[in-house]
Amino acid sequence: MADAEIGVIGGSGFYSFLDDVTEITVDTPYGAPSDSLFLGEVAGRTVAFMPRHGRRHHLPPHRINYRANLWALRSVGVRQVLGPCAVGGLRAEYGPGTLLVPDQLVDRTKAREQTYFDGTPLPDGSVPNVVHVPFADPYCPAGRQTVIAAARGRAWEPVDGGTLVVVEGPRFSTRAESRWHAAQGWSVVGMTGHPEAVLARELGLCYTSLTLVTDLDAGTEAGQGVSHAEVLEVFGRNVGRLREVLFDAVGALPATSGRVCGCGGAHEGWELGIRLP
Ligand SMILES: [Zn+2]
């Protein structure tokens, strides 16, 4: 099987311009991922792209098989993951086009598989043990600094840090929910950041979130609240420069063997019961 060292979970806009892309399908003990993996080379590094919502964008956030997606990436050799996503801004100063690299996460999802260690036997008969990984700092510190430097290198000053609150969706928030999120001091709201980050942590993968603000959330603006057309329009306008930042970051990430961030050892000391791919 072909392999890759870095994974990018995001839309087709990130890989469709690459000259040479190899599509491979990967099956996992958790079922099929969102789509095939698309392998290509960026800045001399091998990258596996996973279209989070499927290439036809047919999977809503609550139906994405997050466990399969992360497992598939690890199974082709990926150890560092970049996860760009569209979010709503919870502060007036985080308007459309803001790039925010969060350092904290709040989970307000309701019904998603969010661990590999739930006691359910895998098809090979192995049974995962109970494992509690540390998650105080949900994102890779080295990945965050790499992404922030890459954005600055493209003259796109990012917001360094902040809290991403992840809601179940697929509906957008009510005004009351949105005001509540803002009153907690949280920065941006999205629908896919959880459980992506924690599953990466369970697999010993570095995970870095890049959030692109596409709209001000309902409680932050006076108008009708978020519309899907608005989100698509802002994302489309920014996808090119987000791709530049991502690709620069890919080139600047440490080699897998050179990681000193500690993400790879998150499950150290635990008897997993299953073998990671
Ligand atoms: Zn890391």
Catalytic residue among 35, 107, 215, 248: 215
Q: What digits encode the pLDDT tens for the residues 12-53? A: 778 887 889 999 999 999 999 999 999 999 999 999 999 999
Mean pLDDT, the chain, integer: 93
pTM: 0.94
| Residue 192 assigned as binding residue | yes
User: Which residues touch 257 (CB under 8 Å, ≥6 apart)?
Assistant: none
CA angle (118, 131, 271) in 5-degree steps: 110
Ligand 1: distance of its center to the CA of 178 in Å?
31
Q: Which amino acid is at 4?
A: A
* pLDDT over 60 (residue 107): yes
Domains of the chain plus CATH, in order, are: 6-260 (3.40.50.1580)
Ligand 1: distance of its center to the CA of 123 in Å?
30
**Residue 103 annotated among the catalytic residues of the structure:** no
| Residue 215 assigned as binding residue | yes
Q: What digits encode the pLDDT tens for the residues 205-256? A: 999 999 999 988 776 666 666 677 887 888 888 989 999 999 999 999 999 9
Cα(15)–Cα(242) distance, integer angstroms: 12
How many Cβ atoms from other residues are within 10 Å of residue 192's Cβ? 25
Q: Of the candidates 152, 155, 158, which has an alpha carbon nearest to the alpha carbon of residue 102?
A: 158
Ligand 1: distance of its center to the CA of 206 in Å?
4
